[in-house]
Amino acid sequence: MVETQEKFIISSEVKREIDKWIAKYPKGRQQSAVVAALLLVQEQNKGWLSESAMNAVAEYLDLAPIIVYEAATFYDMYNLKPIGKHKINICTNISCMLRGSQEIVEAACQRLNIELGETSKDGLFTVREVECLAACAAAPMCQIDDKQYHENLTPAKMVALIDEIAVKEGGRHD
């Protein structure tokens, strides 16, 4: 990969958190902390992993950069481009799909005037399709900001969730 950004500096606070993860593994096994380190650095970098941020993780863990890139591209919890302030993950796996997840995706994207995987013009929302979020009995469902789970969704409920967040942020999505 060709470095095109300024060098990313991992904050001392994030380094302390990474060190806690490194300490959980035998000496020389710091690679085991790569998943946690990437999450911490992603949070420091406002929700995404730039190439420079991944290189900083590799350097801090004394790993070949490819090891970090492999982890960052394998797991869908990492964002390799900037995302909105609020990430809406909509499950489209079989249970959710059979109970109308496509309509949920369409309602969210239409309300925000974006396509799946895009970020709203105001930078508030990114809508993503994800695999199973482990709520099959309450499908269809979504996860907002990796924290809030909303089950038994309808298109109207999805739009109401978006509007509620937008109002809290001081905006509206008309």
pLDDT tens digits for 96-134?
999 999 999 999 999 999 999 999 999 999 999 998 888
Superfamily of domain 86-168: Glutaredoxin (3.40.30.10)
DSSP string, 31-74: GGGHHHHHHHHHHHTTT---HHHHHHHHHHHT--HHHHHHHHHH
Distance from the Cα of residue 149 to its chain's centroid: 14
Residue 52 pLDDT more than 90? Answer: yes
Residue 1 pLDDT more than 50? Answer: no
Domain residue spans of the chain: 12-74, 86-168
> Is the separation of the CB atoms in 119 and 125 below 8 Å?
yes
Q: DSSP label at 20?
A: H
The CATH code belonging to domain 12-74 is 1.10.10
Output the pTM of the full model: 0.76
At residue 133, the pLDDT reads 86
Using the CB atoms, write b or e for 65-75: b if 16+ within 10 Å: beebbebbeee
Do the first three CATH levels of 12-74 and 86-168 match, i.e. the same topology? no
Provide mean pLDDT across the span 19-37: 95
